[in-house]
A = this chain, B = another copy of it.
């Protein structure tokens, strides 16, 4: 067979993609822009510094990566780009039993709205999919504090929290009065505190069928969630589609890019205008409105009216249609990516008090608006006064200097562009090391590219994305690593390994299995020593513990039709010795990590002999670590 894959690329791919990405509606923009990029050969530019981490060496940074429509969070090691862990959140996980164990089902269901519980009752009780866009780590005083990772689900309108100690999801809530949650950011100061969440598409509120095809009655909301309790604190009714959001370093303001200002419902309507907005939220004023009663309660949530003209918000005109929203680690500047405009709009947060006091006009907070390239989306920072903006259509990352951009905006003849580098291909988010905190250190930048085209061995019609790592420690950017990734890492917070300190063993008093702990107490069972089968009418509770290569029970017997709950406690207090519990031909499998308790409930409606076994390799006699569930058939 031929082996011509390496040579089957070159010039054409890049040119083709440039054409494709601009085919509908953007051809004019593209034709007028940097045509040079379209002619760069696919791989000529790609030799650079190494991101290799040698066997046995540890990565220096954690990458907290979203998985987009996979619905999970991925923990990467950087600069190697290796995936260290998957954390199931909105997806189902065959390995860990996420979506099957009682503990995970509780988390997947208890935060849903009553109307959604009703909707899902005939669908297994919870959603099986999610679209996880923006993972962010909790802050204290503008620095990562390593407590939580927060994420959003655009598909089913949820926000979730992951505990950094055990790297497991512990809360999922559904946001009321919203269509879908897109942007998400934690409050930076004094701490997180609030999570700010953007509802993107406009809908009737309530969306119960009383209003249907009348877009004049569609709205979206900005939501503040209490990150400690994971309850919605308040919402703000806004105009347009909220896109991305960020918070300041002072704890006073939050920001959202906002497209579709005329609240259209078709592609033509959504793009048929010259300007859209950056919406600015005055947190203190909104909190006071909630206190003083200046809100409407909707679905039990105080909703403050922050539509255009409100004292709680300001709508700053920016070129149509803005996308990225990134606060700089200098604590002063926030950048909004122009997307359909080749510009980035930079504001100065020190002018916001005057804006809200009507001493200045909205555009007076803009301090720079440099021309970056075609399709500027997201901006990262190196902590040394430079910004790095992804330009989607040009397939580049553009490094520009904030100070020079401001001087140019003020009329000085200075070029803010410092460097440009081609990426492969069509970048979305980008992130620098510690770059979304005040500890930005300017070592590495990750560009999350939506297409990989010819960069990897072919794997069929569905391609991986390409997360590229760029060395930004010097004046020139240097490409260091191509990282294929599956559908589709949307966003990635990068922080130094010193910022997170996961544990190696579960604590026996962890709240994750509180329900089972209480049930065991009622049954007079000690989980750590359990080898009990408790019959309670048609319910049977089976308690066992595991120490490699044994379960404390070698078999248990139930009757066909019994509701069976199996509780397994892993008593191997040894790092990395995780056990599993799988019942064959019953669709039952779960993870039990060192000192964890996990449980699963099912109906024993298949009679016969059913082996269970440990599916997490644990010991030389792992294959023999098994037992039998004997299900007595119903008497005829």
A240 part of interface (Cβ distance < 8 Å): no
Q: Provide the bound-state CA to CA distance between A470 and B309, in Å.
A: 66
20 contacts between A and B (CB under 8 A): A3-B496, A3-B497, A20-B548, A20-B572, A23-B619, A24-B550, A55-B480, A55-B481, A59-B456, A68-B615, A70-B93, A72-B94, A77-B484, A82-B484, A129-B588, A168-B460, A180-B585, A204-B608, A267-B550, A392-B620
The answer to whether B487 and A95 have CB atoms under 8 Å apart is yes
Residues A100 and B129 in contact, CB atoms below 8 Å apart: yes
Judge whether A69 and B340 touch: CB under 8 Å: no
Q: How large is the interface on A (under 10, 10 to 19, 20 to 34, 35 or more residues)?
A: 35 or more
CB-CB < 8 A to A81: which residues of B?
82
The reply to whether A461 and B609 form a contact with Cβ atoms under 8 Å apart is: no
Label chain A's interface by main secondary structure.
loop
| Residues of chain B with a CB closer than 8 A to A631's CB | 209
Chain B, Cβ-Cβ closest to A212: B630
Interface residue A139 (Cβ < 8 Å from any Cβ of B): no
Q: A21-B619, A266-B554, A267-B621 are in contact. List 12 more A-B contacts (CB 8 A).
A: A3-B496, A20-B574, A42-B56, A68-B95, A86-B486, A131-B589, A131-B615, A201-B584, A212-B609, A267-B550, A426-B617, A460-B503
Check if A1 is an interface residue, CB within 8 A of chain B: yes
Minimum distance in angstroms from A333 CB to a CB of chain B = 24
Q: Is A177 on the interface with B (CB-CB < 8 A)? A: no
Among B94, B426, B452, the residue within 8 A (CB) of A92 is: B94
Q: Which of B119, B166, B605, B620 contacts A605 (CB 8 A)?
A: B119
Q: Is A453 an interface residue (CB 8 A)?
A: yes
B609 touches A204 (CB 8 A): yes
A247 to B25 Cα, complex, angstroms: 58
A636 to chain B, nearest CB (A): 11
Q: How far is the CA of A574 from the CA of B450 in the complex (A)?
A: 14
Complex interface bits, A326-362 against B, C-beta within 8 A gives 1, otherwise 0:
0000000000000110000000000000000000000
How far is it, in angstroms, between the C-alpha of A3 and the C-alpha of B497 when the chains are bound? 7
- How far apart are the CA atoms of A97 and B462 in the complex, in Å? 13
Q: Do A55 and B131 have beta carbons less than 8 Å apart?
A: no
A433-473 vs B, CB cutoff 8 Å, 1 = contact: the mask equals: 00000000000000000111101111111111100100000
Contact in complex: A462, B589 (CB < 8 Å): no
B127 and A460 contacting across the interface, CB-CB below 8 Å: no
Which B residue's beta carbon lies closest to that of A606? B119
A594, B69: Cβ atoms under 8 Å?
no
Is A252 close to B, CB under 8 A? no
Q: Residue-by-residue, is A298-334 near B (CB-CB < 8 Å gives 1, otherwise 0)?
A: 0000000000000000000000010100000000000
A255 contacts the other chain (CB 8 A): no
CB distance from A394 to the nearest CB of B (A): 11
Q: Are B1 and A499 in contact (CB under 8 A)?
A: yes
Tell me which residues from 105 to 163 in chain A have a Cβ below 8 Å from any Cβ of chain B: 115-116, 119-120, 122-124, 127-131, 146, 154-157
Would B584 and A179 count as touching, CB distance under 8 A?
yes
Among B146, B505, B585, B621, which residue has its beta carbon within 8 angstroms of that of A26? B621
Whether the Cβ atoms of B323 and A623 lie closer than 8 Å is yes
Tell me, rounded to whole Å, the shortest Cβ–Cβ distance linking A102 to chain B.
Answer: 15
Q: Identify the stretch in A43-51, A409-417, A515-523, A535-543 within 8 Å (CB) of chain B at 4 or more residues.
A: A43-51
- How far does the Cβ of A149 sit from chain B's closest Cβ, in whole Å? 12
Copies of this protein chain in the complex: 2
A58 near B91: Cβ-Cβ < 8 Å:
no
Report the minimal beta-carbon distance from A580 to chain B, rounded to whole angstroms: 6
Interchain CA distance A548-B458 in the complex, whole Å: 23
Give per-residue flags for A188-227: 1 if the beta carbon is below 8 A from chain B beta carbons, else 0: 0000000000001101100111111100001000000000
Would you list which residues of chain A between 530 and 560 have a CB under 8 Å from chain B? 547-550, 554-555, 557, 560
A156 to B514, CA, bound (A): 30
A24 to B572 CA separation, bound complex (whole angstroms): 12
Do A623 and B463 have beta carbons less than 8 Å apart?
no
**8 Å CB contact of A58 from B5, B54, B609:** B5
User: Do residues B624 and A271 form an inter-chain contact, with CB atoms below 8 A?
Assistant: yes
| A75 close to B (CB within 8 Å) | yes
Alpha-carbon distance A605/B118, docked complex (angstroms): 10
* Among A122, A124, A128, A339: residue with most chain B CB under 10 A: A128
Residues of B within 8 A of A585 (CB): 116, 119, 156-157, 179-180
Given A85-B464, A124-B124, A593-B462, CB of A43 within 8 Å of CB of B21:
no
Chain B residue at minimum C-beta to C-beta distance from A13: B575
Whether B459 lies near A84 (C-beta < 8 A) is: yes
A475 — which chain B residues lie within 8 A by C-beta?
none
Which chain B residue lies CB-closest to A19? Answer: B574
| Given contact pairs A26-B620, A92-B94, A462-B167, A156 touches B587 in the complex (Cβ within 8 A) | yes
Residues of B within 8 A of A451 (CB): 576-577
Closest to A618 in B: B450
Instruction: Say yes or no for A595: interface residue by CB 8 A criterion.
Output: yes
- Interface assignment of A596: CB less than 8 Å from any CB of chain B: yes
User: Provided the pairs A1-B501, A270-B624 are in contact, do residues A450 and B180 lie with their beta carbons within 8 angstroms?
Assistant: no
Bound: A379/B426 CA distance, A: 44
Give the residue name and chain of the B residue nearest to A465 (CB).
B617
Q: Does A375 have its Cβ within 8 Å of any Cβ on chain B? A: yes
Picked from B218, B506, B628, the residue with its CB within 8 Å of the CB of A265 is B628
Which 8 pairs show the lowest CB-CB distances between chains A and B? A209-B607, A209-B633, A167-B460, A46-B56, A43-B56, A461-B593, A71-B94, A3-B498
